[in-house]
Amino acid sequence: MSIHVEKIDDYRWRIPRFGSMRTDGLVFASAAMMKVLQQGKALQQVCNVATLPGIVGPSIAMPDIHWGYGFPIGGVAAFDAEQGVVSPGGVGYDINCGVRLLRSRLQFVDIQPYLPQLADRLFHNVPSGVGSQRSDLKLSSAQEHKVLSQGARWAVEHGFGRDEDLKHVEEGGCIDGAEPDLISDRALERGRAQLGTLGSGNHFLEVQRVDEIHDRQAAEVLGLHEGQITVTIHTGSRGLGHQVCDDWLRTMYQASRKYAIDLPDRQLCCAPLTSPEGRNYLAAMACAANFAFANRQLIAAWVRESFEQVLQQGPEALGLSLIYDVCHNIAKWEQHRVDGHQQRLCVHRKGATRAFPAGHADLPADYRQLGQPVLIPGDMGRYSYVLIGTAQAYDETFGSTCHGAGRLLSRHAAKRMARGHDIVAELASRGIIIRAARRGTLGEEISAAYKDVRDVVNVVQQAGIGKIVARLRPLVVVKG
């Protein structure tokens, strides 16, 4: 079925409410992006989300939108605390997949001769790939429960990082309300050996250089300058989060029938936020989110260790400090102004990033006059961006923006396109060293499989829901 869209301006499109939709759809995209979107299924998912009970404001899609499970990836939807629902499809399987960015005191000229050795050391120290495990980190059942309830704080208290790291992690690295007793034995088993691992697919670890500064004042606050070395970590809750989603989908299918919620797609199965099922899902989701925060905290510690081993310099000289760590797949309780009144909402961000503006009380003190750092990774052959949140985003998208480039090709289609290409050599010709656990991953992750993230962040900036600060170029990429 063709979805009717109306152009609002060059970067916004409305899907007028029709059928069982309770609200409009709002899509951020260029004309070229919209032309492609109208040939796929993601716009229908925007409409489907708009049918859910208690939705407040429009069903929103970011410019990196593509088809996902239930909600589109790149989807944002907020739900009233009393009348609304929570849906695992609005969070996704990789709960709190997110991005962490470290800055350093190193310049490109300082590190260039050591890049191959650094690539090898990072690949050795940070396990990657399907089912990857950290053999020297063994969690007892009691320790794993503490990870699920304490998040990144557990990692710091066990020597993996510094107290100041926690100030620069969304929610301080721990979402309240986690109840580890709600997590299945299978999920616990899958997570126990995977803490501190990168995983596979689009997850990555990158050493980068800052190659463009777009906003010098903001960059100065974030400690960024041209030629500087940075490190980005992109991963989530691994097998534990996947299992939590799988377990709760079964419960939510039953809850949708129990509460007589009419669904256009069973992948949107959900439960009222006030119901036992809804409350328990959020408590289980918080456990997986906290696991992901701890996972990125441990990986950051091993990144610091790797730099020290290769460069033979101490922490002070390297200066690998955390700029920020953001969630991409989450449902969170937040206060937003709706029709002139403050309202408690459960905001689902599925492949979307929180982008709070300057002055927001939830931001770290040193960023409060700037706005929240927003980390937007691209593909492994091009570049990534650092942005800051805006008042426009807070007013229009519940303080949300895009989360990455967004896929254009399925993994199978990307692998077909990659046949006959020597991807390692092609990346090397661009000055990028790649280490991957599986050759197949490189085919799935070729640049052509993704939108150009420059086009995506341009839509975000032109629409006013994010402001570009800096661009980062990859030098070393570690993939699963």
Q: Which residues are catalytic?
A: 403
CA separation (Å) from 408 to 66, 102, 414, 425? 8, 28, 9, 23
| Contacts for 146 with CB less than 8 Å, ≥ 6 apart | 154
Cα–Cα distance measured from residue 469 to residue 450, given in angstroms and rounded to the nearest whole number: 22
How crowded is the C-beta side of 33, counted as CA atoms within 13 Å? 31
| Contacts for 254 with CB less than 8 Å, ≥ 6 apart | none
CA separation (Å) from 189 to 88, 239, 298, 461? 21, 9, 19, 43
Residue with tokens 């199978």: 412
Tokens of 132: 């990857």
Cα–Cα distance measured from residue 318 to residue 341, given in angstroms and rounded to the nearest whole number: 47
The answer to whether 106 touches 229, Cβ cutoff 8 Å, is: yes
The answer to whether 12 touches 463, Cβ cutoff 8 Å, is: yes
Short-list 450, 430, 448, 445, CA closest to 479: 445
Cα–Cα distance measured from residue 100 to residue 115, given in angstroms and rounded to the nearest whole number: 21
